[in-house]
């Protein structure tokens, strides 16, 4: 079963579970945003479902604008917020335009994302 995270026009294929997200360099997706905790959250699989778990981050983890305090099931199209970094979760790429699909990166430990958000984006 495949899963993807989309940030703006970049697509990251999740290959390893749990997939760790945070500012520290040993996360799978390294988010270079000072509001993101060193080990902020993780995505894991259980019983053919994908879950998002907050790792006691200081600024919170949200699914569709609701802060989570326990592992929550991810549904395709969900919006994930880690501090002020916005990611979208999908299990296929059918809805994405061809340019975005060409910007797909396999997520491995240390994949970096310049995630500083700017109001004009």
pLDDT in tens, 82-100: 999 999 999 998 877 766 6
Give the residue from 114, 116, 106, 117 showing the smallest Cα distance to 19. Answer: 106
Average pLDDT over residues 1-14: 90
- What is the SS3 assignment for 83-108? CCEEEEEECCCCCCCHHHHCCEEEEC
Distance CA 81, CA 87 (A): 6
pLDDT in tens, 13-44: 998 999 999 999 999 999 999 999 999 999 99
Report CA torsion sign: 85, 91, 95, 98.
positive
Q: What is the pLDDT of residue 120?
A: 38
Report CA torsion sign: 94, 98, 103, 105.
positive
Average pLDDT over residues 72-87: 96
Q: Which residue has the higher pLDDT, 19 or 112?
A: 19
Q: What is the pLDDT of residue 97?
A: 72
Local confidence band at 108 (pLDDT 50, 70, 90 cut-offs): low
Residue 103 has phi, psi (to 5 degrees) of -100, 35
Task: Decide: residue 37, CB within 10 A, 0-12 exposed, 13-18 middle, 19+ buried.
Answer: buried
Q: Decide if pLDDT at 76 tops 60.
A: yes
């Amino acid at each position: 079963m495949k899963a993807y995270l989309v940030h703006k026009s970049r697509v990251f294929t999740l290959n390893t579970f749990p997939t760790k997200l945070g500012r520290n360099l040993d996360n799978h997706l390294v988010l270079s945003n000072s509001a993101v905790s060193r080990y902020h959250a993780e995505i894991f699989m259980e019983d053919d479902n994908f879950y998002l778990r907050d790792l006691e981050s200081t600024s919170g983890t949200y699914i569709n604008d609701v802060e989570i305090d326990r592992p929550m099931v991810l549904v395709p199209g969900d919006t994930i917020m880690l501090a002020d970094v916005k990611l979208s979760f999908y299990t296929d790429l059918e809805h994405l335009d061809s340019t975005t699909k060409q910007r797909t990166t396999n997520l491995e430990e240390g994949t970096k994302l310049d995630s500083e958000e700017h109001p004009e984006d």
